[in-house]
Structure 1
């Protein structure tokens, strides 16, 4: 909106100035009975509207109405020049003030974030990530070196938490609050950039979770070695999704329903076992009181145990995969939390 308004004002004043010069040039040429060349008439118009102060190159006193015409040209030209220059200066000053205000506002907003997510890269893939994070109600900040793309996303998605900068630089990640962040999406469209982001993120915050894009399968292991906890291939995911929609469409729809944060009934969640349940059996959790909760699986030492029995021993850090409601999830989270 700001840029459009400034452009309209500059365009209007600039067009008015050009018209004034043309009218002045041809006006002198006609008023002076075409006895002087167009360049002389243009020069007379130029020195008039710019108030340079040279002597008249045309004897205006010898032609009726020429001096009055000069007054009109001077008033119009000086007016348009003044408006153009003032608009241009205002654009620079207002833009600088606006930029600094937005930067200050953004830094204050970021400083208040905790356990948020950093999305590095703005492209068609990450736009979907942003939508999912919004639906989940998870705080996040978008980082991209292209200021225009960030401005577009701010307008289209009403996003306020974004930062212009190179996500491969430590300073940028630190400004994005990586020290208190829960996770980083290394999601640019360049594998090398995603590798560097993964490496930098893990070095600055070893406990952070990093999800990285990989477009060339030969780079997959390299990105994993750089520190990414999970490497996602958009092309593979797209192909698998298409095959699933064709072969088992209802299963795919059901899983989508369960994974959606805005699901009002059941959904699949993952919960971490705390210290107080370390070495205890599954029956100690006592999900029998939760009528709509099912413990589907346990992830233990990178192994999956499906539908564990009551005598199955769990340890701190194990991951419980449960199907539950939002209300019962909160109860279960409270029970599993550190006391």
Structure 2
């Protein structure tokens, strides 16, 4: 368009000797934009022929350029709108999912682990530039303030499994814990705490579990100095993507064939290859249970093994009890 504007201005100045640069530019622009005021007209035959030449070419170029610009704007807005609507539809269908409040460094680690375990989740953050990185990974997100009731309802807190409060400030995480428990008293809330003195406040606000990245990082650094081989082993079996070893929590139901049996009688290691490392019974935690430990209905078993072993363990625990 600019090149054609220059071409028309120079052409009219060369053909119409009494035209100033402003006259030539005016006539060129009115021709290109089809305004046609009529106050500037070519007086010579060559000028009129030149005008006839640039009219269809210029109008075509302008129409094409405007179409490209308008199409890009409309198409971009339309794609964003359709993508947003499709994501909102997916979020509204989520059940038993996790709501991650905060898309920063801690939130990203939570999202990676949930993705690895194929657990449905939605991320809430107020910064769209950060959320766009999650969108590139085809992850579900909502732009908004996670402290607000409407935003948490939009994320499906009424039928969610849990909430992770991973915002940078402890005050915001306290507010999220209060809001989440107010909307869904039965939901599990795990909150991040940067300061030790904030842990009690988070528990009083309704958090079921408080995690301090600074405390965990400090303990791991100390253990890396004191017991490097042990830390390396734990890192390898739990965090190395080349290994499939993982931990799983399995609740024993009344009809499970494992209930009212000892670990020795159940022969879990022989049948599945997985190992029971702990049993939670109410408020009691039984670590490294003995072979004589009885399994009761309602026990939560913490099981260690590969993904295939854990799957076999789940199938065995959920199988109907033989008469």
* TM-score in terms of structure 1 length: 0.76
In the alignment, what sits opposite 1:149? Answer: 130
Trace 1:201-240 onto structure 2 (pairs within 5 A). 201-240=180-219
CA distance in 1, matches of 2:223, 2:54: 74
CA distance in 2, matches of 1:124, 1:330: 31
1:192 to 163, 171, 183: 171
Tell whether 2:154 aligns with 1:175: yes
Tell whether 2:46 aligns with 1:52: no
CA distance in 1, matches of 2:274, 2:30: 85
Query: Secondary structure of the residue that 1:85 maps to in structure 2?
Result: helix
Deviation string, structure 1 residues 299-337 (Cα, Å, up to 9, x no partner): 445454332345656766554333334444345435555
Q: Which segments of 5 or more consecutive residues in structure 2 lack a partner in the other structure?
A: none
CA distance in 2, matches of 1:244, 1:31: 87
Aligned length: 316
Trace 1:19-38 onto structure 2 (pairs within 5 A). 19-33=3-17, 36-38=19-21
In the alignment, what sits opposite 1:321? Answer: 302
Query: Secondary structure of the residue that 2:182 maps to in structure 1?
Result: helix
2:227 to 228, 245, 248: 248
**1:61, distance to aligned residue in structure 2 (A):** 1.5
Query: Secondary structure of the residue that 2:55 maps to in structure 1?
Result: helix
**1:46, distance to aligned residue in structure 2 (A):** 2.2
Query: Secondary structure of the residue that 1:308 maps to in structure 2?
Result: coil
Contact kept in structure 1, 2:161 and 2:188, CA below 8 Å: yes
Q: Deviation above 6 Å: which 4+ runs of structure 1? A: none
1:119 to 100, 105, 126: 100
In the alignment, what sits opposite 1:6? Answer: none
Q: Which segments of 5 or more consecutive residues in structure 1 lack a partner in the other structure?
A: 1-16
CA-based RMSD of the aligned residues comes to: 3.5
Query: Secondary structure of the residue that 1:290 maps to in structure 2?
Result: helix
**1:255, distance to aligned residue in structure 2 (A):** 1.7
